[in-house]
Structure 1
Amino acid sequence: MELPPLAALLGSLLLCCAGLTKGLKITSTDQPMVEKAQGEKVTLLCTFTESQDDLGPLDVEWVLIPLDNRKKEQTIIMYSVDRIYNNYYEAMNGRVQFTNPDPRSGDGSIDILNLKSTDTGTYQCRVKKAPAVESQKIQLTVLVKPARTKCYIEGSQETGRDLTLKCVSQEGSPLLSYNWRKLTGTQELPATSLLNKDTGELSLKNASEEYSGTYTCVAANRVGTDDCFVVLNVTPPINTAGTIAGAVIGTLLGLFLLAFLVFCCCKKRKEKKYEKEVHHDIREDVPPPKSRTSTARSYIGSNRSSLGSMSPSNMEGYAKTPYNQVPSEDFERPSGQNPSFAPSKYDLAYKIHDITVV
């Protein structure tokens, strides 16, 4: 009859002993996902408790698990045999450290400084103390705040026209949302406006002068905001008829001036060409005047050739008369003589005789 109470007591003792000898355990299990902004600091928790049965050296290792299963895990930082090794991952050199310099206190958490978008991934903390091994995974997402947001107007800013205010952020992790509001006047958006928070477009129908004012757009995501502003000035339509007439008249005047310049250039070019042709004709067509000496010599030569055909008997009468001078052009053509007059054969023979004697 006493066996059942004794058996119960022994069972209770065994359970207590089992609880006392329970091994290593990670206690920080409430941080499965973390979101932080780029440039900020994040702390990935990894706290643990030890047991008296864990007699081996303490090792704490953090690894980055790649999205591609074909790639190997990348060790980021490690504590082993009372030393810290933090130069395994070049992309995080100088940006990762243990929160507690002595992880033996039961805190193996790490800090990652100056976060980058490439730091997004799954991180695993592994705590080893033989014979126990425990691990924990944390999903880190690094978000980029909206930045370099620009506002601009698309469409004509005239009364009665439709126009659109546009807002776009050149940086920022999705999902981005946009919101427009008016800063001047009633500070309320026009009744005809239509806002698209996903694209950042604010459409204004049948714009009036009351729509004029300063508008601001705020781009936001889970980690930050950025804004920009634009000034809208709705005015009455301009006189398009007068503008078109002025443009036509200006175009015609420009064409007339261009035609006049072309005409002047062509005329000047023709005048220069004519002057060159006239100057060339004068130099090529008009021979230089002959000198008296060349005329006399040519005349003597022709007379000598004629003399050779004359007989000695015909020259006797001419040899008696002395004549020592070379005939000149004055002798050939006396003043008052008809230019068409030709000398007789006796005169020619007389002249040839005198030339021969000389």
Structure 2
Amino acid sequence: MAFVLTLAVLLSVTGCAELITVTSPQRYVNVTVGGSLLLQCSFISTTKETTNLVVMWNFVEKSSSSLKQIYYSQADQDVVPPEYKGRLSLPPSHGTGGNVSIGISNMQTADSGLYTCEVRNSPDIGGKTEASIVVQVLEPPSAPFCAVHGDVAVGHLVTLTCHSEKGSPPPTYTWVRLDQARARQPIMARVTPTGILEIRNISEFKFGEYQCTSTNAMGTSTCMVELSQEAEDGVIAGAVIGALLGCLLIALVVWFIAHQVKKHRYAAVKTPAAEMKGSSRPPPATSAVSMEMSSPSHDSTHGDDDEARA
């Protein structure tokens, strides 16, 4: 590598080397979310021939280290990835006077990162072939979500959380307590960079309405939460009532089952007793009548026999 650089310097001194210089007037650029951005880049070459000119724009996302090519041009043939079609455009002056700038529309927070313009123009063998631009897409914080965690009772630890899903740069969070006159009162407690407020050994003087403010360079957004022992008492009362109703339901089920068992036992005992009572009854009256009716006919038969003997 040192040999190549030394050779390039020697050739440039003797007038036999072709050098290229790529520059950009931009180093850091901010753009609002949804806006458009012109990434400026140009080159100067000691050779006038641009038949073999190659232009590349590469992008490294802020939250990633992988390189992505978003534009490639060689011999006046442009290549744009599918995800950038309709968003990436070339300015009218592109290709003239060494201008190789590009434009990108509908910028999103995922478009924040490092953009590099690279130009190759053979027979150039040395020089500065790249220029980089840092882009940050700005977005105001979204409405934060506030929540209460812990046992809201005197002497306990209570944690308040606040978080915005969106916001670039990442928002910072501040908490204040609002008194009865809606005046903002400072809080003597630790607030983490992620919006967590810890209130240790809470007292009645710390009950009330709390407001969280999410802030970045693009704006602010707030949310509020009520911290009161009455709300906790209501939760406890609801839990007690629910437990009592559950016990009552269990008692009703047990009573119903016991009643059904008792009913079946009574029916099982009553059936054999009824059968035994039916078997001990006297013969029906019709049997006695038939016997009485049969006796006279027997006596009359004997009378006829006596008369015959006489």
User: When the two structures are superposed, what TM-score results if normalisation uses the length of structure 1?
Assistant: 0.54
2:50 is the alignment partner of 1:56: yes
Q: 1:39 to 1:78 in 2, by over 3 A?
A: same
Q: Distance in 2 between matches of 1:143 and 1:115?
A: 7
Q: Structure 1 residues 262, 223: closer, same or farther in 2, change over 3 A? A: same
Aligned residue type for 1:26 = V
* Aligned partners of 1:158 and 1:235 also within 8 Å: no
Amino acid at match of 2:21: K
Shift of 1:205: 4.0
1:44 aligns with 2:5: no
Q: Give the deviation of 1:93 after TM superposition.
A: 2.2
Secondary structure of 2:70 counterpart:
strand
Q: How big is each residue's C-alpha offset from its partner over 1:289-334, in whole Å with a ceiling of 9 and x where there is no partner?
A: 99x9xxxxxxxxxxxxxxxxxxxxxxxxxxxxxxxxxxxx659962
Distance, in Å, in 1 between the alignment partners of 2:149 and 2:68 is 49
Code of the residue aligned with 2:24 in structure 1: it is: S
Structure-2 change in CA distance of 1:66 and 1:252 (3 Å): closer
2-side partners of 1:73 and 1:246: how far apart? 61
SS of corresponding position for 2:210:
strand
Distance in 2 (alpha carbons) for counterparts of 1:114 and 1:278: 94
Q: Can you give the 5+ residue segments of structure 1 that lack an aligned partner in the other structure?
A: 1-17, 293-328, 338-346, 351-358
| Distance of 2:100 and 2:240 partners within structure 1 | 82
Corresponding residue for residue 76 of structure 1: 70
Contact 1:160/1:208 (8 A) holds in 2:
yes
Q: Is the 8 A contact 1:86 1:96 kept in 2?
A: no
Aligned to 2:196: 201
1:334 is aligned to 295
1:10-41 CA distance string (max 9 Å, x none): xxxxxxxx8xx99653342551x556666444
Distance in 2 between residues matched to 1:177 and 1:275, nearest whole Å: 82
- The residue that corresponds to 1:149 in the other structure is 144
CA distance in 2, matches of 1:139, 1:132: 23
The DSSP-based 3-state class of the residue aligned with 2:173 is strand
1:125 corresponds to which of 117, 124, 137: 117
Structure 2 residue corresponding to 1:26, chosen from 10, 22, 25: 22
Residue of structure 2 aligned with 1:85, choices 56, 78, 89: 78
Of residues 175, 180, 202, the one that matches 1:180 is 175
Alignment of 1:149-168 (within 5 A): 149-159=144-154, 161-168=156-163
Larger radius of gyration: 1
Residue type at the aligned position of 1:77:
Y
Contact 1:153 1:163 in 2 (8 A): yes
Q: Distance in 1 between matches of 2:240 and 2:118?
A: 82
**Change beyond 3 A, Cα 1:268–1:24:** same
Which secondary structure does the structure 2 equivalent of 1:43 belong to? strand
Identity %: 21
Q: Which has the higher strand share?
A: 2
Letter in 2 for 1:261: F
User: CA offsets per residue over residues 62-109 of structure 1, 9 Å max, x none?
Assistant: 232679xxx99754324555x46243x223222212234533144322
**Counterpart Cα distance in 2 of 1:22 and 1:248:** 88
Q: What is residue 96 of structure 1 aligned with on the other side?
A: 88
Query: Cα offset for 1:201?
Result: 1.8
Could you say what secondary structure the match of 1:268 adopts? Answer: helix
Q: Do 1:143 and 1:172's aligned partners in 2 also have CA atoms closer than 8 Å?
A: no
Given that residues 159 and 237 in structure 1 are in contact (C-alpha distance below 8 angstroms), is that contact kept between their aligned partners in structure 2?
no
How much has 1:56 moved relative to structure 2? Answer: 3.2
Higher relative contact order (CA 8 A, sep 6+): 2
Instruction: Tell me what 2:308 maps to.
Output: none
Q: Is the 8 A contact 2:177 2:211 kept in 1?
A: yes
Q: Is the 8 A contact 1:182 1:213 kept in 2?
A: yes
Q: How many residues align?
A: 271
In the alignment, the residues of structure 1 paired with residue 66 and residue 153 of structure 2 have an alpha-carbon distance, to the nearest angstrom, of: 62
Structure 2 residue 105 is matched with structure 1 residue 113: yes
2:22–2:118 contact (8 Å) kept in structure 1? no
Question: Which residue of the partner structure matches residue 189 of structure 1?
Answer: 186
Change beyond 3 A, Cα 1:38–1:269? farther
State the distance in 2 between where 1:105 and 1:41 align: 24
Q: Is the Cα contact below 8 Å between 1:86 and 1:97 reproduced in 2?
A: no
Match of 1:195, SS state, is: coil
CA contact (8 A) 1:58 1:80 kept: yes
Matched-pair contact (CA < 8 Å) for 1:44–1:110: yes
Match of 1:14 in 2: none
Shift of 1:209: 4.8
